[in-house]
Every structure is written in C-alpha cells, then in structure tokens.
Amino acid sequence: MHIDWWTLALQTVNVLVLLWLLKRFLLQPVAGIIAARQAAAKKLMDEAGAAKAGAEAEREKAAAETAGLLAERERRLKQGLREAAAAKAAALAEARQDADKLRSAAQAEIARERLDAQAAYGDQARALALDIARRLFTRLPDSARVAGFIDGLAQAVAALPEDTRSAIGASEAVALRAPRGLTAEEEDACCSRLSAALGHPVKVTVTADPDLIAGLEVDTHHALVRNSFRADLDRIAEELNRHDQR
C-alpha cells in the first residue's frame, strides 16, 4: 500500500485546524454558557436556600410569637379567673357581713320588741292584778288593809342593821305610807310596834297612798321597808320578767 505523506500531513493539519476552530468557537463559548448557567443555577439554589432558611426562621419566629401570645393569653385568663374568684369571694364575704349585720340588727330589734312587749304585758298584768286586788280588798273590812300588816312591817324594820335602826326616827318622825288615812288606834299601834323594833320611841307621819291597796311602807332617808300588797305585786312582776328574759 502506498501512503501519501503530503496528503496525510494536510489532513492532519486540517484536523488540527478543525479542532482548534471547534475549541475556539464552539467548546469555549459552550463551556462559558454552561459555567454561567451553573453559576446562575447555584445562585438560584443559594437564594432559594436563603429564602427557605428565612422562611423557616420567620415560621419559627411566628410560631414563637404565637406560643408567646397563647402563653400570655393563658396567663391573663388565669389571672382573670383568679381576680374574678377573689372578687366573688370578697363580694360573698361582704354579703355575709351585711347579712350578719342585718340578722344581728333584726335579732336586736326582735329582742327589743320582745322586751317592750314583755314590759307592756307586765305593766298590763300588774295593772290588772292591782285592779283585781283592789276589788277583792273592797269586800274585806277596811281595817284588814292595815291591821294585818303592822306586825310584818315591824319585823322587817327589826331585821335592819343596828346602825340603820338607830338612825331611823332619831331626829324626826318616821314617814309612813298607808292605803288610807289611819285611825288613832292604828297610828298608836304603828308607833308602839315600830318603837319596839327600833329600840327607841318614835312618832310617825302618815301619807295616804291608795296604790298600796293594802299594807304599810316606811320611807326614810336611811331605809325603805315595804310590807304592802303593791310591793308583793312588784316583786312578782320582777320575777316574771327575769324568768321571761332567760
């Protein structure tokens, strides 16, 4: 086989020229375009990653803010419930205090009205008893309203302390109350019995007091000695009042 070296050389040169042309005008621009595309793609990827990271950060920030808002809402809700419970407790306590005050005032008013009613009933009962006693004693001899009480009055006077007895009637007449004016005999009997009870002679000044109904009372600066039907009724009324107040 015959090889034409000139032809081979020319073809070799042609191939080299073609490769240079391809490299110069095709491969380098294409490589630049590819590199530019790769750079643009990388930039886009970096921007996308940055955007994703920013979005994730914003999402986390929003989630944190939301959690904070929820926590603040929960805190305020609990605080509101506590304040409402405290206000309710205070209102209930105040209402109880007001109710206790009203109850105490009502009880005091009821007690006062009861005492007033008891006093009124006592006064009515006493007045009725006095009226009944007065009516009954009108059926007895008039002397019975005095004579039957002289000894009892003398005994009560004799039971007084010695200092008190020595002072009664020493410088003035003994003031004596009776349901009516006394007869001379009744007045003498009173002077005699009181003198014996006091241990020294005395005189009496008699004051008529129909409210006594029956009996006698010594009323001096030193002592008050009551031996009368009115005194008995007063003692009974006091006992009844004490019994009702228990």
CATH number of the domain within which 209 lies = 3.30.2320
**Euclidean distance between CA atoms 213 and 235, whole angstroms:** 15
DSSP assigned state of 205: E
3-state secondary structure of 208: strand
**What is the span of the domain harbouring residue 159?**
140-245
Residue 215 counted as domain residue? yes
pLDDT tens digits for 41-58? Answer: 777 777 777 777 777 777
Residue 190 counted as domain residue? yes
Residue 128 counted as domain residue? no
Residue 14 counted as domain residue? no
Q: How many domains does the chain divide into?
A: 1
What pLDDT sits at residue 160? Answer: 92
| Confidence band, pLDDT 50/70/90 cuts, at residue 240 | low
Phi-psi region of 213 (alpha: psi -120 to 50; beta: other; left: phi over 0): left
Cβ contact 212:230 at 8 Å: yes
What pLDDT sits at residue 27? Answer: 65
Q: Give just the sign of the alpha carbon dihedral 178, 183, 186, 192.
A: positive
Residue 50 counted as domain residue? no
| Amino acid present at 31 | A
Residue 19 counted as domain residue? no
What pLDDT sits at residue 138? Answer: 62
The reported pTM is 0.48
Lowest average pLDDT, out of 184-198, 209-223, 226-240, goes to: 226-240
Residue 124 has pLDDT above 90, yes or no: no
Average pLDDT over residues 171-176: 91
Residue 93 counted as domain residue? no
What pLDDT sits at residue 170? Answer: 84
Residue 164 counted as domain residue? yes
Cβ contact 225:156 at 8 Å: yes
Residue 217's DSSP bridge partners are 177, 226
